[in-house]
Amino acid sequence: MNVLHIDSSILGEQSVSRKVSAAIVARLRLTNPGLRVTYRDVAAEPLPQLSGSLASTLGAPADRVPDELSRDAAKLHTALVEVLAAEIIVVGAPMYNFGIPSQLKTWLDALAVAGTTFRYSSAGFEGLLNSKRFIIASSQGGIYRPGTPAAALEHQESHLRSFLTFLGVTHLQIIRADGTKSSPTSEDHGLPSALKQLEALQIY
Ligand SMILES: Cc1cc2nc3c(=O)[nH]c(=O)nc-3n(C[C@H](O)[C@H](O)[C@H](O)COP(=O)(O)O)c2cc1C
């Protein structure tokens, strides 16, 4: 079983999402002692941002990529290959300014490759990652649950959900630590609550 573990928090050791993503991987290891884990920290080592010319290299054979773009194109390609090689992808995803960290967005940009992760068909587009399981370790300073006053400001989990659905992912679970800034002592919120949700995470 191959697992890809992504972290994107800028808060290093203090990060909540890093603790949750690590706990998810630890739990996966419990039932899969032979788990092979590839780790990528997109905050520590940000991927190159797309420019028009770099975007045009996505999905192109390496020998068609101009020399001046080959280094950056190879980095994006490696990030894509890691996803294609994994059965389970665990993503540490904090909320920053109501969305995902820009470094995580740059990682997503490497994954949308026509012909590889999605394709155009007569019916519109079709996602090709339907065999992948994604588990998101979400952390939010506030509380954005449906029905709460700030629910409409939630563009982090919803962005990931929309993007992964576009790529054909149907098996998506979110383990959420919310209220990490606003109500850290509430039992229903924060890191303790996220770790408790893990007990119910189906492992197979
Ligand atoms: C740059 C930055 C922007 C943030 N923006 C928001 C925000 O828009 N809404 C919110 O509820 N919390 C916000 N927070 C708080 C984080 O979501 C919260 O601390 C979360 O636990 C961070 O996860 P991490 O510790 O894994 O980085 C922000 C934190 C930082 C550092």
**pLDDT mean over 56-69:** 96
* CA 24–ligand 1 middle distance (angstroms): 20
Q: Is 141 in the pocket of ligand 1 (CB under 6 A)?
A: yes
Q: Is 190 in the pocket of ligand 1 (CB under 6 A)?
A: no
Cβ-in-10-Å burial (0-12, 13-18, 19+) of 82 comes to buried
Average pLDDT of 60-78? 97
Which residue ranges make up each domain of the chain? 2-199
Residue 136 tokens, joined: 């998101």
User: Would the CB of 203 count as within 6 Å of ligand 1?
Assistant: no
Nearest C-alpha to atom 27 of ligand 1 is from which residue? 9
Rounded to the nearest whole angstrom, what is the distance from the C-alpha of residue 198 to the centroid of ligand 1? 21
Q: How far is Cα 76 from Cα 110, in angstroms, rounded to an integer?
A: 5
Q: What percent of the chain has pLDDT over 90?
A: 87
How confident is the model over 17-34, as pLDDT tens digits?
Answer: 999 999 999 999 988 889
Q: Which amino acid is at 45?
A: E
CB neighbourhood size of 6 (10 A): 26
Whether the per-residue pLDDT at 79 is higher than 70: the answer is yes
What letter represents residue 89's amino acid? I
**pLDDT value for 189:** 86
How confident is the model over 112-124, as pLDDT tens digits? 999 999 999 888 9
Q: What residue owns the CA closest to ligand 1's atom 2?
A: 96
The third-level CATH classification (topology) of the domain covering 2-199 is Rossmann fold (3.40.50)
Edge-first strand order for the sheet with 2-7 is 36-41, 2-7, 88-94, 133-139, 171-177
Residue 181, ligand 1, Cβ within 6 A: yes
Q: Is the pLDDT at 184 greater than 70, yes or no? A: no
For residue 141, pLDDT over 70 is answered with yes
The rounded distance, in Å, linking the Cα atoms of 178 and 72 is 35
- Is 175 buried (19+), middle (13-18) or exposed (0-12) by CB count in 10 A? buried
Average pLDDT of the residues in 50-74: 97
pLDDT band for position 185 (50/70/90)? low
Q: What is the pLDDT of residue 97?
A: 98
- Residues 49-58 have a mean pLDDT of 98
**Position 183 confidence tier, pLDDT thresholds 50, 70, 90:** low
